[in-house]
Every structure is written in C-alpha cells, then in structure tokens.
C-alpha cells in the first residue's frame, strides 16, 4: 500500500498524558503534558518538553526539579483542566481540587491522587525551538498499590491527536515473539 509523504511534524502522536508539578508546597504549578518520555535507564532519566511561556517552566528553571505524576482515567477531567488554564492567572490546585503531598527527595509537591509520582532533578536543559527539553534524573518514585502491581493496573491516560484514551487489551509481554 502506498504511503502519503507529509511535511515534518510531531507524527509520533501517542504519548502518556501526565500532570507535571514544579515549585514548592507554598508556591507551585501543576500542568498537563504529553511531551514526556523515558530517556535513560542507568541512571534513570525522564525528559519533558515545556514551552518557555508556560508558568511551569518558570518553576522548573527556578527550582531545578519537577515531578511527573501519572494520573489515572478516574482523574481525566482534572488532567485536562490543568492543561487548559494558566497557573499565572489561576490556582490550578484549588480549581482541580487535587491535593499537594510533600515529596521525599525534592521540594516539589506530588499529586496525592496520582498512583505514580516520579521526582526528578534537572540535569540538563536543551533549548529546541518551541519547547525546552528538561532532562531530569529520577531521584525518588512513589507508588500506590496499583502501581506496585504493574503499569497495566494504573489505568493511565494516553494523549492521541488531541484526544484522551485509555489503554486497551494486553497483546503480549516483552520477549513474547521469541517464545
């Protein structure tokens, strides 16, 4: 089947939708990001793409840390809401009714309602164009019972072409093609 060739774009459109926090318990921001991914396993590193004009960007630069909070489908409304308003003008914690919880390795608050929280310290920043890539070394991971049982029990939210989706059926485990 012939393929259509298009102009360069962010065609890799399936991404986790997460809540990222930065700042302190007293002054922080929470926003929704989909430009998020694992970059390295030893040491564990996560990259997040943030536009410089986002209020969250200011807190990451100032504090040198961020937390990736993996929300579940039950909190999809709050996830969307935190990406639709600016933290400069709105207290998104209050608006979303999400709860700040103190992390253990950084000053950055975790989102208590999220089953998985990943505390990161910024190790490098790359200015790429519309976004800055913050490369964060994972310094602590907080998991509730669902996260401890494995990722499939988290019921995470995926962002695909401007829409939120939940994961579907298991099709195999790593290495199933070699059995």
Domain ranges of the chain: 14-178
Task: Look up the pTM and report it.
Answer: 0.93
Q: Are 122 and 38 in contact (CB under 8 A)?
A: no
Instruction: Give me the phi and psi of 79, to 5 degrees please.
Output: -60, -50
Mean confidence (pLDDT) of the chain: 93
Checking if the pLDDT of 148 tops 80, the result is: no
CA–CA gap between residue 148 and residue 151 (Å, rounded): 8
pLDDT tens, residue by residue, 115-128: 999 999 999 999 99
Confidence of residue 51 (pLDDT cuts 50, 70, 90): very high
Residue with tokens 């986790």: 16
Mean pLDDT over 100-122 rounds to: 97
Mean pLDDT over 6-28 rounds to: 91
Q: 116 vs 6, 17, 92, 105, CA distance in Å?
A: 37, 13, 20, 15
Q: Report the range of poorest mean pLDDT among 18-32, 118-132, 142-156, 160-174.
A: 142-156
CATH superfamily, region 14-178 = Electron Transport, Fmn-binding Protein; Chain A (2.30.110.10)
Mean pLDDT over 63-83 rounds to: 96
Checking if the pLDDT of 150 tops 70, the result is: no
């Amino acid at each position: 089947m012939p393929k259509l060739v298009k102009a360069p774009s962010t065609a890799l459109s399936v991404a986790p939708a997460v809540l990222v926090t930065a700042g302190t318990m007293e002054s922080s921001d929470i926003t929704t990001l989909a430009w998020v991914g694992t970059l390295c396993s030893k040491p564990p590193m996560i990259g997040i793409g943030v536009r410089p004009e986002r209020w969250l960007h200011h807190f990451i630069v100032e504090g040198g840390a961020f937390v990736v909070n993996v929300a579940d489908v039950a909190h999809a409304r709050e996830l969307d809401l935190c990406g639709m308003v600016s933290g400069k003008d709105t207290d998104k914690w209050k608006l979303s009714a999400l709860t700040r919880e103190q992390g253990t390795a950084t000053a950055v608050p975790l989102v208590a309602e999220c089953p998985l929280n990943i505390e990161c310290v910024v190790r490098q920043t790359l200015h790429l164009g519309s976004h800055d890539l913050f490369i964060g070394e994972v310094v602590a991971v907080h998991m509730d019972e669902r996260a401890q049982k494995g990722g499939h029990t988290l019921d995470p939210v995926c962002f695909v072409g401007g829409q939120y989706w939940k994961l579907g059926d298991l099709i195999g485990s790593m290495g199933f093609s070699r059995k």
